[in-house]
Amino acid sequence: MGHYLVTGGAGFIGSNFVRHLVATSDHTVTVLDKLTYAGSRASLAGLPEGRIRLVVGDICDAGLVDELVSGADAVVHFAAESHNDNSLNDPSPFVQTNLVGTFTLLQAVRKTDTRYHHISTDEVYGDLELDDPERFHETTPYNPSSPYSSTKAGSDLLVRAWVRSFGVRATISNCSNNYGPYQHVEKFIPRQITNLIDGVHPKLYGAGLNVRDWIHVDDHNSAISTIIDKGRIGETYLIGADGEKSNLEVVELILTLMGHPRDSYDHVNDRPGHDMRYAIDSTKLRTELGWAPRYTHFEDGLAATIDWYRANEDWWRPMKAATESKYAKAGQ
């Protein structure tokens, strides 16, 4: 049995990772989360109190971070500002959390020689053309296009530098777009699902041609555990499930699975600076560490996600009206 410190563990991917740890191990967990709009105590509801402790605080608080890291066997760093549109409206929280926060954690694990895993995104690589056969891999040059992706790219480079310069025992994973339970309704898939539950047409950005490589959050988290257990220190692993779908395909599939005509959606203004296509090559992770996704068909994972949002309206309802009001002001 070990003790994990999970930053951002009350957010979407982080809370699902905590649930994964509880279900698959006997580890205890301290969650450090600022509980911004994207984090919620409700996302940790029902977990055994004897194994989970929530500390409300900021990863930029060096004293608090040092204290929590000193009692941990491993640190898994999810905490991040992560919405591209928000980063265009105000980049400053992205610089603070994604860069200064990562620096603070790296300094702490450096002092204690604590195992550290850094969660990142495929958006650090920029985007690909729709007709490009290439996919992102571990040696793809960084080419971020937004305050969000550039601060995540910077945080990745800090980790690599602390490994090389100070011997920090760290690994990095860059993952494609996640979907699944406990995802904020501002995000693309839960927004469409909850709109349909409310009798509102889904919203399609522009022509809907933009492509994302979708992975269920449970598969992302099983990959993280595999990397922590088996990954080579200093290495980066890309996580993906071969789930490339255009936004139009996703909306049409949600409509079909929820019993509506495939064309029952509204076109809205495209997102500013909307990257065209992301695609992950996860060969290294699969061949070196033996990982494979559970949801090999996107439709199966999406159906399970729809079922979850139908069954858990009490979780997402409190944030829905404010989210839609914000989108309406942007013409989306």
206, HSE (Cβ side, Cα atoms, 13 Å)? 14
CA 236 → CA 99, 134, 219, 288, distances in Å? 18, 19, 17, 12
Which of 169, 203, 208 minimizes the C-alpha distance to 187? 203
- Please tell me which residue in 33, 58, 123, 275 is annotated as part of the active site: 123
- In the set 58, 122, 186, 324, the catalytic residue is 122
Beta-bridged to residue 7, according to DSSP, are: 32, 77
User: Of the candidates 145, 84, 80, 105, which has an alpha carbon nearest to the alpha carbon of residue 271?
Assistant: 84
Q: Give me the amino acid identity at 95.
A: V
Our answer to whether residue 237 is catalytic in this structure is: no
CA distances to 43, 64, 78, 123, 193 from 59, in Å: 19, 8, 11, 22, 32
Q: Is 148 a catalytic residue?
A: yes
Other Cβ atoms closer than 10 A to 93 = 16
The Cα 194–Cα 205 span in angstroms is 17
**Tokens 């349909």 identify what position?**
196
Q: Which amino acid is at 28?
A: T
Check 148, 179, 295, 309 and give the catalytic one: 148
Residues catalogued as catalytic = 122-123, 148
